[in-house]
Structure 1
Amino acid sequence: MPELRFDDGAAYEQVMGVWSRSVGEVFLDWLEPAQGLRWIDVGCGNGAFTELILARCAPSDVQGIDPSEGQLAFARTRPGARGAVFQIGDAMALPFEAESFDAAVMALVLVFVRIPSKGVAELARIVRPGGLVATYMWDMLGGGFPLDPILDEMYAMGLSPTRPPHMEVSTLAALQGLWSAAGLQQIEAREITVQRTFADFDEFWNVETKAPSAAPVIAAMPAADVAALMQRVRARLPTDADGLITCSARAHAISGRKPR
């Protein structure tokens, strides 16, 4: 199966940036972090969550790390992300000394990390004793992924959209196991459900099919098959009398503290 690549920051913003911020608002309310902390956003992508940290948490420093220069280029253009430093980096080998940060977070990233346990261990390594380590990730196995209405129908038609390599770590039990294995304490976890409304089916389709999990497959499909897929997806979406489509998604969130 081909590797999922997120290189188009503008497209990612339309597909997932909006969803990410909706979850991120609830996530930060739940974490209740102190003001003035040193933050690192690992797998920051196009800066959607980094911008929230700056807006909500009055950080003293924010670093964003991502493997995609295309995503980082978009992040650097965000007016709300001024003050953050964005650089290329690997979640499993972060370019920072131990105990460099007060808070280390991942937003919708962990299922893409080649060795998830190593990624969590790196988060724990770079925070100070007592520091916060947290993530939120779509419930990929329990029907919580925003793109499931499209991807599920693609599978039903015998198509093969690209999936993240480690969807199994998106469950609450798996996240709790990873946080415990990394030696973190005061572990707390929760579900976060959010909604997003589209003006009509065309808006839903044009936005959500920009995702790299589906876009290349759809682009290669015969027109008749695309029409059939659209019909199947349309039939399963909740549409009100005005044509508005309101979709739900569910994420799992976890936090823990490095022992003092």
Structure 2
Amino acid sequence: MSVNEAWNAAAAYERYIGRWSRRIAEPFVSSLDAPAGLHWLDVGCGTGALTTAVLRATQPTEVRGIDPSENFVRHARDRLTGTGAQFATGDARALPVPDARFDAVVSGLVLNFVPEPESAAAEMARVATPEGVVAAYVWDYADGMVMIRHFWDAATALDPGVADRAEGRRFPLCRPDPLRALWTGAGLTDVTVEAIEVVTVFRDFDDLWTPFLGGQGPAPGYVTTLDDDHRSALRDLLRERLPVAPDGSITLSARAWSVRGYRPENG
């Protein structure tokens, strides 16, 4: 992660990507078809979007979230006070929980930001119970996360030298075949990869643009490096390229890839 990228300001993250993470989390949890009463672990829980979906949809016995950001953990804990969910700081590559502890181990929008995703996948498999489900989702940066794709297309048009900063190039993991290989490499079985797509509607251009000024993640981090003139040029070009409705709203699609597998009974 470059010096201009950060995942530590919960409110800015919510405005930028958290609101859309929640939209993906709901169909993701539904797709797992999990029975009530399970013990869940949310790896890289962030501000609690996926944990919230689990609580709403599955009647869990336990939900625990782990994230390296103290700010995110505090936000999730405050937001979900009274639900029974528990949160702690921790590294996805060395989860602070014992083997075979959770029936469902899940992760949302995290794995591509872990420096060693293979270690994270192995840890998720380790802490799952035999026959427990291990599942995750990541944005389809190369094509289907249209808001971010439009941003980098405009940024690259103004400065071709930044093309390699785009998540679509930086995160080849966010595609079906690499995700399937990651899960299979962790020893999981019956691995499947599916697309989840939602509609993202922005009230107006400011509703889309302002979150890019919050510094959370690669694209907003890039914006923080720009001088006023370059930032204004990027804003104006992005506005020109977006499909704006007569009422000023902007409707885009957002696709994520979800992967799931199961820890072998004798694994």
Note whether the superposition's TM-score is higher than 0.5. yes
Gaps of 5+ in 1: none
1:231 paired to 2:242: no
Letter in 1 for 2:2: P
Q: How many residues align?
A: 260
8 Å contact kept, 1:51–1:81: no
The aligned counterpart of 1:240 is 245
Cα distance change, pair 214–105 in 1 and its aligned pair in 2 (3 A): same
Letter in 2 for 1:130: E
1:255 paired to 2:260: yes
Q: 2:227 aligns with which of 195, 209, 222?
A: 222
Provide Cα deviations, 1:58-95, integer angstroms capped at 9, x if missing partner. 11111111110011111111147731111110101001
Alignment of 1:67-86 (within 5 A): 67-79=68-80, 82-86=83-87
The aligned counterpart of 1:2 is 2
4+ runs deviating over 6 angstroms: none
The aligned counterpart of 2:38 is 37
Provide Cα deviations, 1:35-69, integer angstroms capped at 9, x if missing partner. 11000000001111111111111111111111100
Letter in 1 for 2:117: P
Question: Matched residues in 1 for 2:170 and 2:88: separation?
Answer: 24
Letter in 2 for 1:257: Y
Provide Cα deviations, 1:151-195, integer angstroms capped at 9, x if missing partner. 332222226495669611111000111111111112121111111
Q: TM-score, normalised by structure 1?
A: 0.93
Q: TM-score, normalised by structure 2?
A: 0.91
Cα RMSD of the aligned pairs, angstroms, is 2.0
1:23 paired to 2:24: yes
8 Å contact kept, 1:154–1:160: yes
Question: Matched residues in 1 for 2:262 and 2:26: separation?
Answer: 21
Gaps of 5+ in 2: none
Identity %: 38
Matched position secondary structure for 1:250: strand
8 Å contact kept, 1:238–1:246: yes
The aligned counterpart of 2:143 is 142
The aligned counterpart of 1:57 is 58
1:212 paired to 2:213: no
Question: How far did 1:147 drift?
Answer: 2.0
Letter in 2 for 1:247: L
The aligned counterpart of 2:182 is 178
8 Å contact kept, 1:191–1:250: yes
